[in-house]
Amino acid sequence: MPGNNLQTASDAVAQGAQLPDEAEISAFVRAFYARVRADESIGPLFDRVISGRWDQHLTTMDTFWSSIVLGSKRYRGHVLSRHMMLAGIEGHHFDRWLELFIDTAQATFNKPIAAEFVRPALRIAKSLQLGMYGMSYEVPAGQRELLERYTGR
């Protein structure tokens, strides 16, 4: 990827790095969502929808990220339809979610493995916003810059 110095997981594995196992993905998911829940900006949005079902949500997210990063193909949901029903979510909420996600990934994993979580998260955030707000929606500049940095697009 031109101008992108972030290795892929394939490159990292070829150089001896190891992809996370299911337990490490689960620990990451829990660390990330602990930060989400504590966040003044997006915590209340999540609590409004997930309150009383956090264990179920975390288990679903374990499965989702295992499918994304490890290719386990265990996740069977439809991401956009699960988010379309959410009211009050704006671009700046996605910014904050991504900030917490990237910080947690970088604190948890080495750089190339963290990037294996961040790249799809950025793509998913973009797709969700376009799906929720329409194709004419302009994804916030900070997100576009991160997408370029991590994916070269």
**Proportion of the chain above pLDDT 70, given as a percent:** 86
Q: How confident is the model at residue 25 (pLDDT cuts 50, 70, 90)?
A: very high
Res 3: pLDDT: 38
CA distance 148 to 108: 22
Res. 4: pLDDT tops 90: no
CA distance 136 to 112: 33
Query: For the chain, what is the mean pLDDT?
Result: 87
Query: Which of the following CATH numbers is that of domain 20-151: 1.10.10.60, 1.10.490.10, 1.10.10.10, 3.40.50.720?
Result: 1.10.490.10
Which stretch of 53-67, 75-89, 93-107 has the lowest confidence by average pLDDT? 75-89
CB atoms closer than 10 angstroms to residue 51: 9
* Boundaries of every domain in the chain: 20-151
Res. 84: pLDDT tops 80: no
CB atoms closer than 10 angstroms to residue 26: 18
